Amino acid sequence: MSNSATSKLPFSLSETELETLRKNTEIFEMPAKTKLITAGMPVRYLYFVESGCVRGYRYHEGKLLVEYLSGESDFFTDAKVFFSGGVSSHDFETITDCRLRKISLELLETIKLTDPRWETTIARLSSQHLECKMERVRDFQTLTAKERYLKFLERSPDLAQSASVETVASYLGMEPQSLSRIRRQISS
| Helices (H), ranges, the chain | 15-24, 79-84, 105-114, 117-142, 145-155, 157-162, 165-172, 176-187
pLDDT on residue 130:
86
For residue 21, the tally of other CB atoms under 10 A from its CB is 18
Give pLDDT tens digits for 148-175.
999 999 999 999 999 999 999 999 999 9
Instruction: Map out the domains of the chain as residue ranges.
Output: 15-187
CA distance 105 to 30: 21
Over residues 41-96, the pLDDT tens digits come to: 999 999 999 999 999 999 999 999 999 999 998 889 998 899 899 999 999 999 99
- DSSP lists the bridge partners of residue 65 as 58
For residues 127 and 178, which has the higher predicted lDDT (pLDDT)?
A: 178
- Tell how strand 35-37 and strand 75-76 pair up: unpaired
Positive or negative, the Cα torsion across 82, 83, 85, 88? negative
Summarize pLDDT for 3-52 with one digit per residue, the tens.
Answer: 433 334 445 677 888 888 888 999 999 999 999 999 999 999 999 999 99
Per-residue pLDDT at 9: 47
How confident is the model over 124-152, as pLDDT tens digits?
A: 888 888 898 899 999 999 999 999 999 99
Give the domain 15-187 fold: Jelly Rolls (2.60.120)
pLDDT value of residue 178: 96
pLDDT value at residue 12: 65
DSSP run (H or E) holding 28:
strand 28-30
Among 142, 122, 173, which Cα is nearest to 11's? 122
Work out the widest C-alpha separation in the chain, in whole angstroms.
Answer: 55
Which pLDDT does position 63 carry in this prediction?
93
